[in-house]
């Protein structure tokens, strides 16, 4: 693709989510989200997200007793540490950065959150990774298909929502490879066509995933609660957050 050719010719691409070529259908929440998609698309070795603090702290960054969490493994709960305030660098706050970091790390890519206001931060991260203060998300060692990688970053294209019951939610949260079946669906919101992207919502209304539907919204609506029907979202085209 275009970026690969540019890199092969020693050109560094600069991409911004509010470029003049953007249209509403392709609008991203912020540059953090866009960077995650690009890192996933190009199967990069690492994604470095720069903020105005040194990383994720185990308390308020302004508290002298707080310190930076140097490594974050898969499944670590950070809800007590993340504030919803936005970075002075743009629209994306630390919550957005953390969500993107988790998602990309789950795809097997190392993610680093560091302070973009520090001199030579990128050089230090590459040449002195152990000594440079930052938060590093450990990548998953389980392979993720290119299709699932794309779906993981496709929420901005979602055309509707599929709401599932408590039983289906529990199964999705397990380590089992499962699809979204009509028997586990409670209701559908929005209109979509076959192969469109939809959000998967749990029984409490929280988003738990994104997927590509196997049928249109009318067919899915007619199949709700029925046994023996084909998956509305097949496991191969389902990303669970």
- Among the candidates 119, 143, 167, a domain finishes at 143
Which DSSP string do the residues of the chain spell out, in sequence order? -HHHHHHHTT------TT-TT--GGG--S-HHHHHHHHHHHTT-SEEEEEESSSS-BSS-TT-TT--B--EE-TT---TTT---PBPTTSS-BHHHHHHHHHHHHHTT-EEEEEETTSTTHHHHHHH-TTTS--EEEPPPSS---HHHHHHHT-GGG--EEEEE-HHHHHHHTSSS---B-GGGEEEEES---TT-EEEEE-TTS-EEEEEE-SS-HHHHHHHTT-SSPPPSB-GGGEEE-
Structural domain range at position 15? 2-143
Does the pLDDT value for residue 215 go beyond 50? yes
In sequence order, what are the beta bridge partners of 72? 137
Higher pLDDT, 96 or 185: 185
pLDDT for 2 equals 86
- Among the candidates 85, 117, 143, a domain finishes at 143
The tens digit of pLDDT for each residue in 110-167 reads 999 999 999 999 999 999 999 999 999 999 988 788 888 889 888 888 999 999 999 9
122 and 229 assigned to the same domain: no
Residue range 26-42: mean pLDDT, rounded? 78
95 and 9 assigned to the same domain: yes
43 and 117 assigned to the same domain: yes
Residue 21: band (very low, low, confident or very high) from pLDDT cuts 50, 70, 90: low
Cβ atoms of 126 and 217 closer than 8 Å: no
Residue 197: band (very low, low, confident or very high) from pLDDT cuts 50, 70, 90: very high
175 and 234 assigned to the same domain: yes
Global pTM? 0.74
Does the pLDDT value for residue 12 go beyond 80? yes
pLDDT for 74 equals 78
- Among the candidates 109, 143, 177, a domain finishes at 143
Residue 241: CA atoms inside 13 Å, Cβ hemisphere, count? 17
137 and 159 assigned to the same domain: no
pLDDT for 88 equals 42
State the burial class of residue 215 (Cβ atoms within 10 Å of its Cβ: 0-12, 13-18, 19+): buried
Q: Answer yes or no: is 149 within a domain.
A: no
pLDDT for 146 equals 81
55 and 135 assigned to the same domain: yes
Smallest Cα–Cα separation from 26: which of 152, 147, 154, 146? 154
Number of domains in the chain: 2
Task: Please state, rounded to an integer, the average pLDDT across all residues of the chain.
Answer: 87
Q: Answer yes or no: is 232 within a domain.
A: yes
pLDDT for 149 equals 87
136 and 189 assigned to the same domain: no
Paired tokens of 37 = 């998609």
The tens digit of pLDDT for each residue in 78-92 reads 776 765 554 444 434
164 and 69 assigned to the same domain: no
Residue 63: band (very low, low, confident or very high) from pLDDT cuts 50, 70, 90: confident
pLDDT for 154 equals 86
């Amino acid at each position: 693709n275009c970026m690969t050719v540019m890199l092969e010719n020693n050109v560094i691409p600069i991409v911004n989510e509010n470029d003049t070529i953007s249209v509403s259908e392709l609008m991203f929440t912020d540059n953090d989200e866009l960077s995650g998609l690009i890192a996933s698309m190009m199967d990069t070795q690492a994604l470095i997200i720069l903020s105005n603090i040194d990383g994720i702290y185990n308390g308020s960054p302004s508290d002298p007793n707080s310190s930076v969490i140097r490594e974050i493994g898969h499944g670590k709960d950070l809800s007590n540490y993340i504030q919803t305030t936005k970075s002075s660098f743009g629209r994306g706050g630390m919550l957005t950065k953390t969500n993107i970091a988790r998602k990309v790390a789950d795809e097997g890519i190392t993610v680093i959150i560091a302070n973009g206001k520090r001199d030579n931060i990128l050089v230090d991260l590459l040449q002195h990774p152990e000594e440079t203060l930052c938060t590093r998300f450990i990548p998953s060692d389980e392979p993720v298909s290119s299709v699932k990688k794309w779906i993981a970053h496709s929420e901005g294209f979602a055309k509707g929502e599929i709401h599932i019951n408590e039983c289906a939610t529990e199964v999705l949260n397990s380590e089992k490879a499962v699809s979204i079946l009509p028997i586990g669906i409670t209701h559908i919101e929005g209109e979509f066509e076959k192969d469109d992207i939809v959000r998967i919502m749990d029984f409490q209304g929280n988003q738990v995933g994104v997927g590509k539907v196997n049928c249109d919204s009318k067919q899915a609506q007619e199949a709700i609660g029925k046994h023996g029907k084909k998956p509305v979202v097949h496991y191969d085209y389902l990303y669970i957050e």
